[in-house]
Structure 1
Amino acid sequence: MISEIEKYSVGWTDLAEASTRNAELLKELALDKQSLRKMATEAWEYPTLRDMCEQTRQLSRIVLHDALDRGFRLRLHLWNDFETGYPHNHRWSFSTRLLSGGYHHTLYESPSGFDSSSRNDADGVELITRYRTLESAGAGYTLHHDTVHRTETTVDTVSLLIRGPVEKRRALTADPGTGKFRFSLGRTMETPPEVAARRMSSAQFEAMFARLEKLGIL
Structure 2
Amino acid sequence: MDEIIEPLHLLDWDDIGAVEQHTSAALEQIIARPGVLAAAVRRLPERPELLRLCEHQEFYSVDKLVLYSDEDSGIRVRLHVFLPNHSDQPHNHRWTFATSVLKGEYHHVLYGDAPEGTLPLIVHARSERPGDGYVLHHSVVHAVTAAPDTVSLMIRGPAVKDRSVVFTRQMVRWHYSATQDSVADTANKELTPARLAELTDLLEEWGLLG
Same fold judged by TM-score > 0.5?
Answer: yes
> Are 2:65 and 1:62 equivalent residues in the alignment?
yes
Counterpart pick for 2:130 among 121, 129, 137: 137
Counterpart pick for 1:212 among 191, 203, 207: 203
Alpha-carbon distance change, 58 to 14 in structure 1, aligned in 2, over 3 angstroms: same
Q: Which residue of 1 aligns with 2:94?
A: 91
Q: Which residue of 2 aligns with 1:72?
A: 75
> 1:174: how far off?
3.3
Q: Structure 2 regions of 5+ residues with no counterpart?
A: none
Q: What one-letter code is carried by the residue in structure 1 that aligns with 2:125? A: R
Q: Secondary structure at the match of 1:182?
A: strand
Q: What percent identity do the matched residue pairs reach?
A: 31
Counterpart pick for 1:125 among 115, 118, 126: 118
Q: Which residue of 2 aligns with 1:33?
A: 34
> Are 2:177 and 1:186 equivalent residues in the alignment?
yes
Q: Which residue of 2 aligns with 1:102?
A: 105
C-alpha distance in structure 2 between counterparts of 1:17 and 1:213, whole Å: 33
C-alpha distance in structure 1 between counterparts of 2:6 and 2:21, whole Å: 19
> Are 2:129 and 1:166 equivalent residues in the alignment?
no
Q: Which residue of 1 aligns with 2:45?
A: 44
Counterpart pick for 2:84 among 74, 81, 86: 81
Task: Provide Cα deviations, 1:70-123, integer angstroms capped at 9, x if missing partner.
Answer: 3411111111134222111111110001101110000001233x4xxxxxxxxx
C-alpha distance in structure 2 between counterparts of 1:39 and 1:189, whole Å: 27
C-alpha distance in structure 1 between counterparts of 2:173 and 2:114, whole Å: 18
> 1:155: how far off?
2.8
Q: Secondary structure at the match of 1:21?
A: helix
Q: Secondary structure at the match of 1:52?
A: coil
Q: Secondary structure at the match of 1:63?
A: strand
Q: Secondary structure at the match of 1:3?
A: helix
Query: Could you tell me the TM-score, scaled by structure 1's length?
Result: 0.88
Greater alpha carbon shift after TM alignment, 132-141 vs 183-192: 183-192
Q: Secondary structure at the match of 1:146?
A: coil
Q: What one-letter code is carried by the residue in structure 1 that aligns with 2:94? A: R
The Cα RMSD (Å) is: 1.7
Q: Secondary structure at the match of 1:70?
A: coil
Aligned residue pairs, count: 206
Q: Structure 1 regions of 5+ residues with no counterpart?
A: 115-123
Q: Secondary structure at the match of 2:43?
A: helix
C-alpha distance in structure 1 between counterparts of 2:207 and 2:2, whole Å: 19
Q: What one-letter code is carried by the residue in structure 1 that aligns with 2:37? A: L
Q: Which residue of 2 aligns with 1:4?
A: 4
